[in-house]
Amino acid sequence: MNVLNSIKIRLEKDKDYREVEELTREAFWRKERVEKLGVGCIEHYMVHCLRKIDGIKELDFVAEIDGKIVGHVIYSRAYILQCNNEKKEVINFGPLSVLPEYQKQGIGSALMKYSIECAKELGYGAMLFFGHPTYYPRFGFVEAKEFGITTAWGANFPAFMAMELKKGYLEGVNGRYIESKIYDEELNKEKAKKYDENFYLK
Ligand SMILES: CC(C)(COP(=O)(O)OP(=O)(O)OC[C@H]1O[C@@H](n2cnc3c(N)ncnc32)[C@H](O)[C@@H]1OP(=O)(O)O)[C@@H](O)C(=O)NCCC(=O)NCCS
């Protein structure tokens, strides 16, 4: 059966929060991370934090099949700190999650395409993020260095990608990419581990 025939993409509602965090936890959980971090993933805690700080509610989507949430993507506010100290607003996305048993059937791609179109319609200028360099170019991403943008710490590498949503938005923008402050202030393994205690034991 082609799941794409029965998939419905819609905005996330408050009542979906728990189901979405459980889904995110299932998608990202890795046994190796338990040994390293004390918790199998921190992305469900990341979603929780983004809802409070810098998350973009109008770009927070779930993919549903017969009432069951099988995929999710959330976006957040970020900016480029330009060499002249001006800030250029951009958006970031992630985590992007699909339940393991529904992966590789096009749901992640459907969520990406749908949310990118919505972001364009809502007038956002550009997206940047860190992700898999083999998966994301299919949506139009290129390496951020092509726009003269580095990470906050001045680096470039293939996993650091960017895409204009408005043509020319990143032209002449040289600077450093600064993500939501949750990454500096909120997101650490101790807090993630504590938060994970609210979920069933894996
Ligand atoms: C990444 C993810 C969202 C993709 O969703 P999906 O519904 O499985 O993706 P689609 O079916 O639309 O696309 C499948 C393609 O993605 C590729 N892909 C999936 N996960 C990938 C990964 N981590 N790295 C590179 N490629 C990946 C598959 O190889 C496949 O490629 P192909 O089309 O060339 O065969 C899903 O696999 C997932 O939830 N993974 C765990 C969490 C994660 O890593 N999220 C992304 C980081 S934010």
- The per-residue pLDDT for range 124-173, each reduced to its tens digit, is 999 999 999 999 999 999 999 999 999 999 999 999 999 999 999 999 99
pLDDT of residue 44: 97
Report yes or no: 40 and 31 within 8 Å, Cβ to Cβ: yes
Written as six digits, the tokens of 111 are: 């969520």
The residue whose CA has the least distance to atom 16 of ligand 1 is: 135
Please work out whether the CB of residue 103 comes within 6 Å of at least one atom of ligand 1. Answer: yes
Residue 189: pLDDT band with limits 50, 70, 90: confident
Please work out whether the CB of residue 134 comes within 6 Å of at least one atom of ligand 1. Answer: yes
Which ligand 1 atom sits closest to the C-alpha of 129?
48
Written as six digits, the tokens of 76 are: 């957040």
Mean pLDDT of the chain: 95
Please work out whether the CB of residue 70 comes within 6 Å of at least one atom of ligand 1. Answer: no
Q: What is the mean pLDDT of residues 54-83?
A: 97
What pairs with residue 150 in β-bridges?
A: 176
Please work out whether the CB of residue 30 comes within 6 Å of at least one atom of ligand 1. Answer: no
CB atoms within 10 A of CB 183: 18
Report yes or no: 71 and 102 within 8 Å, Cβ to Cβ: yes
